[in-house]
Chains A and B, each alone.
Chain A
């Protein structure tokens, strides 16, 4: 039998959460102040969890890598947040939001979790409005909605193109209120290097103080990781520079299982790579595909300027292949098709790794002013980066790594396989299956933090024996501290010839090539070997200057990259063992005659959760079967 117990409560899907909230044990208000919780990360999930638990009375210690909790990368989310308010009266419901999310995830997520997410989504909107989040409104003063990919209703709430920023600042302000009240102790510029497990329970962490270089230990009664995703394994992604998964990865090495590592989302509309010195990729909102037409020249290696290529020599390939959805096919389909064109030598721009997104027809049809009104700020951003005006010349776009659906395995309580270690937001694997829909990441982060963990953490405290006599004097802290010290000394003493950055770039290229938009067994096997040898190269030849005292940005990067080098291998391994195509995971061997993803529901309707067995040893693949009692598994078609 599986080691993975999802702890999904029994009962009707619609009643599970309500019933479970009633069944959970409570901690009385006077006793809450006796419990301490560590929260790592201050994005939407971390900040909302920290503030809500502090409001309830728990003592929270909050950690972030940046100089302020407000900088977490949730801030960069543009589009919006979904909720089934049905304000537009267009037939939305909790059930429909649940259904769209589970279908969008290609049936690889847990019904009960997704249903709960859809249920609490409405509370999130109310909560954020009350916090002063300036959502867009209609003239009558009521909240505005817009439509987004993967749904036939308008359920997306937004604050201009800065929804993530506004939601994060809302959570951050609640959090700062609790900092002022003394219920949250805030530790900025700290990076987690180790999880401390005592008597089988997660009890504390080791962090490195980025300013002083000192290693510090913190102790609590439970640990919450809200550390985001691992997209930066690819070096180039839309993630922030400091986004990393070392916290989650160190937890994995202490026994938390890592689920569905191969599920990564590649966003189709990003500004393409311009050269070797590029540090990150910038996303252009998906909404551009509403008016832009995607094309490439019919001729291979055509170097003419786009406007010199006559209509008859252009291939509007999305419109050709998917006549009914055209340019509006889902993210994974659009991304894969762009890659196919580029691989066939029809890519455009100086690098040949891009396709055109052309607004000429839309401008002709609606006028330049209308298009400016819709996309003016995006066009400006594009021009700032590329020095080209999309009003006169087609945009160049190419897919980029954007989000990781996989993450630490959690049960219905959002607890990992280590008791006491809870994982929220992008860091867990839970709600998006094999593909995340637009405007759902913000929803999940805040649902976890505001409305799920505040309940389940109480249940954990009330139903487990937690030895509160333990302090950071416990030998486990000394061991953990020593581990980190050894790691840092190892990195500093290697004194090789390659910079951390250059190795990270190599890893990124390997990942993109072997574990990118489409994968196959042979290439994945080759990828695993190459990643392993790159890891050896790193261990023997990395150059980390400076010391472990004070600010040492190279050392910071080295710690992160050493973990990416291990995560990368697990991603490839997970992709190799998932012999099907689903959502963001496309295996060349498993496709329909029309080159679409072909799921294998009989053998792969499950979560693959990897268990660490030791360095350089193959991890064990555990399986949690997904039961679908309420939705019927269907094949997606966009033709």
Chain B
């Protein structure tokens, strides 16, 4: 625990609403403790802004323990900041030094329009899930949980893919604003499990088509998504989606 505080120069994207033009604004923020989380640092800034009669910076956040996927932010040009496998809410200010300039921008993509300041609309992800990211079964249909054994390895792979929190860092960090890592994670999870195989082809077709329609870019296999994913979702999921999509194109 350190007691010395830092002063930071913040450059933050401010935009009144989704129709206004935004710009970068600078703020000096003293009194930042290294033990604060990045979002607590923004809380401090907002407390100062409110007390001086200014409009606080709008940003998305909720659980603050790295699982809800609500927090976002490009911090000094990196999605969720410089620390690997870490969401913005779990990033702590000890990753910064006194006097540092910190550039904070919203996640940017055509499919993620800005609502206000750093708050963006990621409902495109919900649309991708609605297109096919499910197993069509009604409550009450299910056989016993142990009726179909699933090998541990398969279950683990499905869990690896299912760990996605839907934060959008993959889209934000991709040079092409592609949503392939997100889409492929859900598609992989369900394609791996026997329960999901029945409608795997249908699902691959519908999810990919929806993803394309929404205006996400294409994958150039550069792997920035994997590198900035706070949950370590792997590129192998995209490869699996590529296979699944090819197979489904032959049958559909």
Which of B37, B126, B145 has the most C-beta atoms of chain A within 10 angstroms of its own C-beta?
B145
Q: Across the A-B interface, give the 5 residue pairs with the lowest CB-CB distance, nearest first.
A: A141-B149, A130-B142, A173-B134, A126-B142, A134-B159
Q: Which of A67, A125, A140, A349 is in CB contact (< 8 Å) with B70?
A: A67
Say if the beta carbon of A131 comes within 8 Å of chain B: yes
Instruction: Tell me how far the C-beta of A223 lies from the nearest C-beta in chain B, rounded to whole angstroms.
Output: 21
CA distance A274 to B5 in the complex (A): 14
A173 is contacted by which of B36, B46, B60, B129 (Cβ under 8 Å)?
Answer: B129
A87 touches B43 (CB 8 A): no
Most chain A CB inside 10 Å of its own CB: which residue of B63, B119, B133, B136:
B63
Residues of chain B in range 109-134 having any CB-CB distance to chain A below 8 Å: 115-116, 119, 121-123, 125-126, 129-131, 133-134
- Whether A142 contacts B149 by the Cβ 8 Å rule is yes
The answer to whether A127 touches B139, judged by C-beta atoms less than 8 angstroms apart, is yes
**Complex CA–CA separation, A70 to B140 (angstroms):** 22
Task: Report the minimum CB–CB distance from B98 to chain A (whole Å).
Answer: 16
- Compute how far the CA of A126 lies from the CA of B195 in the bound complex, rounded to whole angstroms: 12
A-B contact pairs, 24 of them (CB 8 A): A66-B70, A73-B62, A76-B65, A129-B142, A130-B137, A131-B137, A131-B195, A132-B135, A134-B155, A134-B159, A139-B152, A140-B149, A159-B162, A240-B64, A241-B62, A241-B63, A275-B33, A277-B44, A278-B40, A279-B40, A280-B64, A283-B65, A384-B86, A545-B50
Q: How many A-B residue pairs have CB under 8 A?
A: 224
The reply to whether A545 and B55 form a contact with Cβ atoms under 8 Å apart is: yes
**Cα distance A179–B70 in the bound complex, in angstroms:** 21
- Chain B residues with CB under 8 A of A280: 64-65
Q: Is the CB of B130 within 8 A of A176?
A: yes
Q: Which of A160-168, A335-343, A630-638 contacts B (4 or more CB under 8 A)?
A: A160-168
Q: How far is the CB of B147 from chain A (nearest CB, A)?
A: 8
Shortest Cβ distance from residue B165 to the other chain A in the assembled complex, whole angstroms? 7
Q: What distance in Å separates the Cβ of A242 from its nearest Cβ neighbour in chain B?
A: 5
* A-B contact sample (11 more), CB < 8 A, given A240-B62, A499-B51: A123-B140, A126-B145, A128-B145, A131-B134, A132-B193, A134-B155, A142-B149, A159-B159, A165-B67, A176-B126, A241-B61
B40 touches A277 (CB 8 A): yes
Bound complex: CA of A349 vs CA of B3, how far in Å?
Answer: 13
Shortest Cβ distance from B186 into chain A, in angstroms? Answer: 8
One of A127, A135, A385 near B142 (C-beta < 8 A): A127
Chain A residues with Cβ below 8 Å from B34 are 387
Interface centre among B46, B50, B60 (most CB of A within 10 A): B50
Asked if A180 and B130 make an inter-chain contact with CB atoms under 8 angstroms apart, the answer reads: yes
Please state if B130 and A177 are interface contacts (CB–CB under 8 Å).
Answer: yes
Whether B82 sits at the interface, judged by CB under 8 Å, is no
B237 within 8 A of A: no
Instruction: Give Cα A48–Cα B140 distance, bound, in whole angstroms.
Output: 12
User: Is B193 touching A275 in the complex (CB atoms < 8 A)?
Assistant: no
Q: Is there a chain B Cβ closer than 8 Å to A581's Cβ?
A: no
Contacts of A133 in B (CB 8 A): 162
Q: What residues on A are CB-neighbors of B141 within 8 Å?
A: 130
From B63, which residue of chain A is reached at the shortest CB distance? A240
Chain B residues 34-63 with CB under 8 Å of chain A are: 34-37, 39-40, 43-44, 46-47, 50-51, 53-56, 58, 60-63
B50 contacts A554, C-beta separation under 8 Å: yes
B189 close to chain A: CB less than 8 A: yes
A413 proximal to B (CB < 8 A): no
Task: Give residues of chain A (567-584) contacting chain B, Cβ–Cβ below 8 Å.
Answer: none
Q: Name B189's contact: one of A132, A278, A349 (CB within 8 Å).
A: A132
Q: Are A275 and B35 CB-contacts (below 8 A) given A165-B67, A545-B53?
A: yes
Contact with B along A422-458 (1 / 0, CB 8 A): 0000000000000000000000000000110010000
**Complex CA distance for A574 and B217, rounded to whole angstroms:** 56
Say how far B173's CB is from chain A's closest CB, in angstroms. 19
Are the CB atoms of B195 and A130 closer together than 8 Å?
yes
Chain A: interface residue count, which band?
35 or more
Chain A positions near chain B (C-beta within 8 angstroms): 48, 51-52, 55, 66-73, 75-76, 85, 87, 123, 125-143, 159-160, 162, 165-166, 169, 172-174, 176-177, 179-180, 186, 188, 211, 238, 240-242, 274-275, 277-280, 282-283, 349-350, 381, 384-387, 450-451, 454, 499, 501-502, 543, 545-546, 550-551, 553-554
Tell me if B190 is interfacial: C-beta within 8 Å of chain A. Answer: yes
Instruction: Report the bound CA distance from A140 to B155 in whole Å.
Output: 11
A242 to B33, CA, bound (A): 24
Contacts of B195 in A (CB 8 A): 129-132
Q: Is B94 an interface residue (CB 8 A)?
A: yes
Given A126-B145, A131-B195, CB of A76 within 8 Å of CB of B63: yes
Interface contact B17-A550, CB-CB below 8 Å: yes
Q: Tell which of A136, A349, A501, A551 touches B115, judged by Cβ atoms closer than 8 Å.
A: A551
Tell me the B residues contacting A by CB distance below 8 Å: 1, 3, 16-17, 33-37, 39-40, 43-44, 46-47, 50-51, 53-56, 58, 60-70, 83, 86, 90, 92, 94, 115-116, 119, 121-123, 125-126, 129-131, 133-146, 149-152, 155-156, 158-159, 162-163, 165-166, 186, 189-190, 193, 195-196
CB distance from B143 to the nearest CB of A (A): 7
> Bound state CA distance, A162 and B130, in angstroms?
22
Name the distance in Å between A528's Cβ and chain B's nearest Cβ. 28
Q: How far is the CA of A240 from the CA of B46 in the complex (A)?
A: 19
Give CA–CA (A172, B36) in the complex, Å.
32
B152 cross-chain contacts in A, Cβ below 8 A = 137-139, 141
Chain A residues with Cβ below 8 Å from B166 are: 68, 70
Contact B1 A349 (CB under 8 A): yes
Contacts of B163 in A (CB 8 A): 160, 162, 165
- The answer to whether residues A384 and B92 also contact, given A66-B70, A173-B135 and a CB cut-off of 8 A, is yes
Q: Would you call A126 and B143 a contact (CB within 8 A)?
A: yes
What residues of B have a CB within 8 angstroms of the CB of A169 in the complex?
162
Task: Give chain B residues whose Cβ lies under 8 Å from the Cβ of A274.
Answer: 1, 33, 35
CB of B129 within 8 A of CB of A172, answer yes
Instruction: Verify A179–B130 contact, CB threshold 8 A.
Output: yes
A125 surroundings in chain B (CB, below 8 A)? 145
The distance from the CB of A355 to the nearest CB of chain B, in whole angstroms, is 16
Which of B55, B62, B83, B94 has most chain A Cβ within 10 Å? B62
Per the bound structure, the CA–CA distance linking A173 and B190 in Å amounts to 11
B155 and A135 form a contact (CB under 8 A) = yes
Q: Which of B70, B121, B146 is close to A71, meaning CB atoms less than 8 Å apart?
A: B70
Contact A132 B196 (CB under 8 A): yes
A387 CB contacts on chain B under 8 angstroms? 1, 34-35, 92, 94
Q: Complex: how many Å from CA A130 to CA B69? A: 25
Of all chain A residues, which has the CB nearest B135?
Answer: A132
Distance from B125 Cβ to chain A, minimum over Cβ atoms (Å) = 7
Docked complex Cα distance between A132 and B133 (Å): 10
